[in-house]
Chain A
Amino acid sequence: MKKKILAACLSAAMVAAMLVGCGSKPAEDPAQDETPTEDQAEEPGGDEAEEPTEDETEEPTEDDTASGELLPGGGSNILYCITPSTSNVYFKTVQDIATEKGTELGYEVKCFSHDDDAATQLEMFEAAIADKAAAIICDNAGADASIEAIQKAYDAGIPTFLVDREINQAGLAVAQLVADNAQGAAAIAEAWVEAMDYKGQYAELLGLESDTNCQVRSENFHSVIDEYPDMEMVAQQSANWDQTEGYEKTEAILQSNPDITGIICGNDTMACGAVQACIDAGRDDIKIIGVDGSDDAAKYIKDGQMVGTALQQIALITQMAVEQADAYLNGTAPEEEKQLVPCVAITADNVDKLSSFVYTE
């Protein structure tokens, strides 16, 4: 009897695995052709349309910029720069650039890390209010969880400039400057398709599949690649943004699909793992791209082991935020709240201009 139950369970598991195993590969290709391009075109327009309906009382701050409705600032000349943990070089760049640019423009810059904790972030905003800060530059701790803190600063008359991450409410922050993931992914995909000579089989390593960034990047990779009928995706796997997983998944994919000549990755960390797996397998013909613009990827691009990456210009974004804060305090508000800063496609041609997320023309 028990043997029977065991047998039934095992066979059920096998059947499930078989059904899943063989059914889920290419299904999504055709549908994606149109949607992402539309998204891309509509994004800026869509945002503008949303703003007034969402929060009508704030409309004056946006439109009547010259009519003296600007937030006055706290009164001192201190800039607060609040970011996630600086143990990540990416966020450290935000603080470094804010300090450099702020000091240059004559401000005293104070930097803090909220470690992605909205409560800590709120305390820091309160400290900024008590300190009579002129403006706050913030890489926030959550699209919804940060609204309260920014509202407090708004009520105290201190303008907030968001970098890198958006919040889910318009009209509170003076500006929200974020990298244009969609455009970046599409741009590097263009370079990659050219390197692939517009044909061949390839694999895709996705990030954490529940992450918006992962979806946006993948969609926009395909908006470009799926235009070419000779390009065929034979494997699509998640490697959870992780280097070891990128390495192991690439090895497994190479085993089952030795004919691939390209791998597209949702970020540079996974791309670095994929590069190493290809080196170990003796495959120097495989074209790999990532997104981020990290120094590790830059090294591989210089060595010719990676085709390219899409740089999120976090240094430029921060610099723009500080400049706009300075302009705002002097009476000129930015034209739009939501500003998408384009990514730069980094390939062997321009990789020398990239260092620590800074791209120098």
Chain B
Amino acid sequence: MNTKKTNSNQMLMTLLKGRTFIVLIILVIFFSVVKDNFLDPSTLTMVAKHVALYGILALGMTFVIITGGIDLSVGSVVGLVGMLAGGLIQEGLTLSFAGVTLYFSVPMIVIMMLVVGAVIGWVNGLIITKLNVAPFIATLGTMYICRGFANLRSGGATFPDIAGYEGLGNTGFKVLGSNIANIPAGVYVFAVLAIISVVLLKKMPFGWYVLGVGGNEKSARLSGIKADRVKIIVYMISGFCAAWVGMINTAQLSAAHPASGDGWEMNAIAATVLGGTSMAGGSGTILGTVVGAFVIGVINDGMTMCGVSEFWQKVIRGLVIILAVVIDQTQRNLQAKMALQARNENK
């Protein structure tokens, strides 16, 4: 009797752990029935391309949320990086004191933008750890600051052409937004960053530090983890990821628009939470986040292809997120119950 119950509990447990994946499969089946070309390679490529944008944001967000923080600034960093990259390509960097304008090659620009993203993350981390500001407030502040600078860069206008100039040797930025062997460049970046993230979180000591700081900061400190440093690094990772998204988005649109990325932090948070990362910190997986990002992507594109109105899309997205967290709670309760049971049996 008792073993039977444990067995069924265990089965439920497996189902719950794979829930996001199950939801994803149900969604794909559902949309492929409703829309017969949903499983076409071109449709799937398109979904992957859209998923890559906030999927990359969600990777960085996963690290941040595991430490118990949150990064609201990523959407604005996307906009700011796009504007800076567009500006560097079109106008170069004018050093007024030297009276020269410098134009950089595309790889240089990419590296500079990644540094910009990481530096913004570093500032976020410093404000949070050294000045003791709550992550929500600190990153809310940087969110406004970055959006402001994105607008200031051009006075609110768009940089409409990021193709670069042959003579200046800065062509090629569009590669980030084009297809390589029929797969969008953004998807490659997403895949590579996801693999690096998995290694970082699962195989490196740094991953244990992150989980430790999120699980119980005090005991992590006592066991010698430099909690502040870990926190600063996760915000730098988040900014770094946002910088990639800023560049890919700009390359895809062939234009840098200062309002780009507005509100994307919410998509990233949603994907992370759907993937089973706890907002309280201490647990979460990269694979879960990737699947979560795909769930959101499939819902968005699937509903758009079916012609569902934007209002209903919002309602359904909200329902899915709440449902995911409710199931997450159920899983946690069940886990605690099973642990208790196991202990009683051992006695």
Contact = CB atoms under 8 A, between A and B. Distances in A.
Contact of B152 (A14, A87, A247): A87
A244 B260 contact: yes
A273 interface: yes
A361 B118 CA distance: 50
Main secondary structure of the interface of B (DSSP, over half): helix
B307 A276 contact: no
A237 to B, nearest CB: 6
A247 B245 CA distance: 15
Given A16-B316, A18-B34, A87-B155, A276 B309 contact: no
Interface stretch (A21-29, A155-163, A216-224, A325-333): A21-29
B37 interface: yes
A20 B319 contact: no
A294 B154 CA distance: 15
A252 B34 contact: no
B255 A20 contact: no
B30 interface: yes
Contacts of B258: 87
B202 interface: no
Interface stretch (B156-164, B231-239, B278-286): B156-164
Given A89-B156, A243-B260, A244-B260, A21 B255 contact: no
Interface in A265-305: 269, 272-273, 276, 279-280, 294-296, 299
Contacts of B319: 13
A255 B37 contact: yes
A294 B259 CA distance: 15
A253 B42 CA distance: 13
A232 interface: no
B301 interface: yes
A42 to B, nearest CB: 29
A259 to B, nearest CB: 12
Interface residues of B, number: 53
Given A3-B12, A13-B323, A242-B259, A20 B308 contact: yes
Contacts, number: 136
A195 interface: no
Interface in B157-175: 157-158, 160-161
A249 B308 CA distance: 12
Nearest to B320: A13
B35 A256 contact: yes
Contacts of B300: 248, 252
B327 to A, nearest CB: 7
A164 B261 CA distance: 27
A9 B323 CA distance: 8
Interface in B17-65: 23, 26, 30, 34-35, 37, 40, 42-43, 46, 49-50, 53
Contacts of A143: none
A206 B310 CA distance: 10
Contact of B158 (A87, A209, A237, A296): A296
Nearest to B259: A242
Interface string B242-261: 00000001001111011111
Contacts of A244: 53, 249, 252-253, 257, 260-261
A253 B305 CA distance: 6
Contacts of A272: 158, 160, 253, 255
B304 A249 contact: yes
B306 interface: yes
Interface string B205-248: 00000000000000000000000000000000000000000000
A248 B50 contact: yes
> Which bracket fits the contact residues of A?
35 or more
B312 A256 contact: no
B255 A89 contact: no
Contacts of B40: 255
B323 A236 contact: no
A22 B260 contact: no
Contacts of B259: 242-243, 269
B151 interface: yes
A294 B311 CA distance: 28
A65 to B, nearest CB: 38
A6 B12 CA distance: 11
A215 interface: no
Contacts of B249: 244
A101 interface: no
Contacts of A206: 310
Interface string B6-23: 000000100100000001
A241 to B, nearest CB: 8
B127 interface: no
Interface centre among A24, A234, A253 (most CB of B within 10 A): A24
Contacts of B316: 13, 16-17, 20
B303 interface: yes
Contacts of B37: 255-256
A238 B53 CA distance: 19
A255 B42 contact: yes
A256 B306 contact: yes
Interface centre among A9, A237, A251, A253 (most CB of B within 10 A): A251
A16 B316 CA distance: 9
Nearest to B254: A276
Given A10-B26, A14-B26, A256-B35, A276 B255 contact: yes
A88 B260 contact: no
A238 B309 contact: yes
29 contacts: A10-B23, A10-B26, A13-B316, A13-B320, A20-B312, A21-B307, A21-B308, A24-B309, A86-B155, A87-B156, A89-B157, A92-B156, A209-B309, A236-B309, A243-B158, A243-B257, A243-B259, A243-B260, A244-B253, A244-B257, A244-B260, A249-B304, A251-B49, A252-B304, A255-B37, A255-B42, A295-B157, A295-B160, A296-B255
Given A209-B311, A255-B42, 19 more contacts: A3-B15, A9-B323, A21-B303, A24-B309, A25-B307, A88-B156, A92-B155, A209-B309, A243-B259, A244-B53, A244-B253, A247-B253, A248-B50, A255-B46, A269-B257, A272-B253, A276-B252, A276-B255, A280-B252
- 8 nearest CB pairs, A to B: A238-B310, A256-B305, A21-B306, A87-B156, A252-B304, A87-B151, A88-B156, A20-B312
